[in-house]
Amino acid sequence: MTKYTDIVRKRLGWCPNADAVRKSRCTGVEQDCEHAWKRGGPDPGAAPESDAPAATPPGYQENILLILIAVAWLFPVVYQQEFLFLLMVISAVAVYCDAQNIHAGEKFEKETLLGDIVAWRPLTWGAATFVGGIIIMAIYLFHRKEIYTANMGKASS
């Protein structure tokens, strides 16, 4: 039993005397796990048997810059006239660029403003953020993963 816990510790990087091994298949020192597979254990290189979608789409990352800009809206100093306009422009440009990066609206032929937001194009997101400010930006941040997932098929092909 300790042999298998040592293998797990090495793979996770918990073993102080070994470097973390981040491979999908067992190699080298970890030949014992292949023998365990032959005895009826799970195949180390096989795909998971679950039909459930992954919690996070592959290649998806949170955009920390957008989150920081949204937090900046909470400071009272930004409600002075010159800072407010500057923050509106920065927010609109940041949302527009991020919507382009996640290929927002590419998979959908028709864009409707009152319809599904996953069909909105980057220019629509930028203009709506400029007009709606933090409210539209918050909607974008909360639905960003959904937008990415809905348009991922077009982006990868």
DSSP 57-72: -TT----HHHHHHHHH
Q: Are 21 and 30 in contact (CB under 8 A)?
A: yes
The whole-angstrom separation of Cα 67 and Cα 39 is 49
Place of tokens 């990868």: 156
Determine the pLDDT at residue 98: 93
Determine the pLDDT at residue 116: 80
Q: Are 26 and 33 in contact (CB under 8 A)?
A: yes
Residue 9, pLDDT > 80, answer no
Q: Are 143 and 117 in contact (CB under 8 A)?
A: yes
Determine the pLDDT at residue 7: 74
User: Which pairs count as long-range contacts for 13-16, CB under 8 Å and 24+ apart, including other chains?
Assistant: none
With cut-offs at 50, 70 and 90, classify the pLDDT of residue 157: very low
For the four alpha carbons of 99, 104, 110 and 116, in that order, the dihedral sign comes to: negative
Determine the pLDDT at residue 119: 86
Domain limits of the chain? 2-38, 64-156
Determine the pLDDT at residue 131: 93
Q: What is the pLDDT of residues 17-54, one digit of tens each?
A: 554 444 444 444 444 544 544 455 555 555 555 555 55
Q: What is the pLDDT of residues 43-96, one digit of tens each?
A: 555 555 555 555 556 777 888 889 899 998 888 877 787 788 889 999 999 999
pTM for this one? 0.59
The two tokens of residue 138 are 């918050």
Q: What is the pLDDT of residues 106-145, one digit of tens each?
A: 888 777 777 788 888 899 999 999 999 889 999 999 999 8
Residue type, position 28, single letter:
G
47 φψ region: left (φ > 0), alpha (ψ -120 to 50), beta (else): beta
